[in-house]
């Protein structure tokens, strides 16, 4: 009887260890302190498309050999596509003073422009660089020229500082993308 109780206790302990709550990391709230005039009063961020690894809840790193590594015990605090869209809206609002919101558009009047971002890469590497690259698209309905462009930005971080440093670097990278799109796509 005692042997069965010990085995049961060990199995329960092992099961609890396997189902431990993962660590979740919030991207720090970076602030755009500069101003950038844009050519629109209202902008909808229609879609943010992330690569599969970046859309995952797991925080992914790229090793020196190019392999992507993630750990189910280290997660983003929010769904990445939702979080990135909200960060972009906040930054574009701070930068421009325009009314910016992610889809679905929450206001009665239509936006002047619709912005779509398709990320090709959004990843931290083990050497201390957080890389964001992809393409943006600006659709307008008032006859002005629609536009698109490429972005390719890198933010340094201390890899020894772990997931909090990766989260801070992602926050800075999204601010940099917002600034780039404001200057190059929304003027």
Q: Contact at 8 Å (CB) between 50 and 81?
A: yes
Q: Cα dihedral angle (85, 109, 139, 99), rounded to 10 degrees?
A: -50
List the beta bridge partners of residue 135. Answer: 118, 150
- Both tokens of 184, joined, read 């190059």
- pLDDT tens sequence across 45-71: 999 999 999 999 999 999 999 999 999
- pLDDT tens sequence across 125-136: 999 999 999 999
- pLDDT tens sequence across 104-133: 999 999 999 999 999 999 999 999 999 999
d(CA 104, CA 186): 20
d(CA 133, CA 123): 9
- Rounded to a whole number of angstroms, the distance between the first and last alpha carbons of the chain is 77
What are the two backbone dihedrals, phi and then psi, of residue 74, each rounded to the nearest 5 degrees?
Answer: -125, 105
Q: Contact at 8 Å (CB) between 61 and 68?
A: yes
The CA-based angle 103-109-113, given to 5 degrees, is 55
Beta pairing, strands 23-25 & 99-102: unpaired
Say if residue 16's pLDDT is above 50.
Answer: no
Give the predicted TM-score (pTM) of the model. Answer: 0.88
Write down the pLDDT at residue 7: 45
Fold of domain 24-184: Rossmann fold (3.40.50)
- The CA distances from residue 179 to 33, 57, 84, 86, 157, in Å, are 11, 25, 14, 15, 19
152 Cβ neighbours under 8 A, 6+ residues apart = 132, 133
């Amino acid at each position: 009887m005692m042997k069965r109780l010990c085995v049961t206790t060990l199995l329960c302990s092992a099961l609890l260890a396997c189902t431990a709550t993962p660590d979740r990391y919030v991207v720090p709230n970076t602030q755009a302190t500069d101003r950038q005039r844009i050519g629109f009063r209202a902008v909808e961020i229609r879609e943010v498309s992330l690569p599969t690894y970046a859309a995952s809840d797991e925080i992914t790193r790229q090793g020196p050999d190019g392999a992507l590594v993630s750990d189910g015990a280290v997660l983003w605090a929010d769904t990445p596509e939702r979080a990135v869209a909200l960060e972009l809206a906040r930054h574009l609002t701070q930068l421009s003073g325009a009314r910016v919101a992610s889809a679905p558009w929450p206001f009665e009047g239509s936006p002047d422009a619709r912005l779509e971002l398709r990320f090709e890469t959004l990843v931290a590497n083990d050497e201390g660089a957080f890389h964001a690259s992809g393409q943006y698209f600006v659709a307008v309905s008032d006859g002005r020229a629609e536009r698109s462009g490429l972005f390719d930005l890198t933010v340094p971080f201390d890899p020894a500082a772990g997931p909090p440093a990766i989260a801070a670097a992602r926050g800075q990278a999204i601010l940099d993308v917002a600034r780039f799109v404001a200057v190059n796509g929304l003027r």
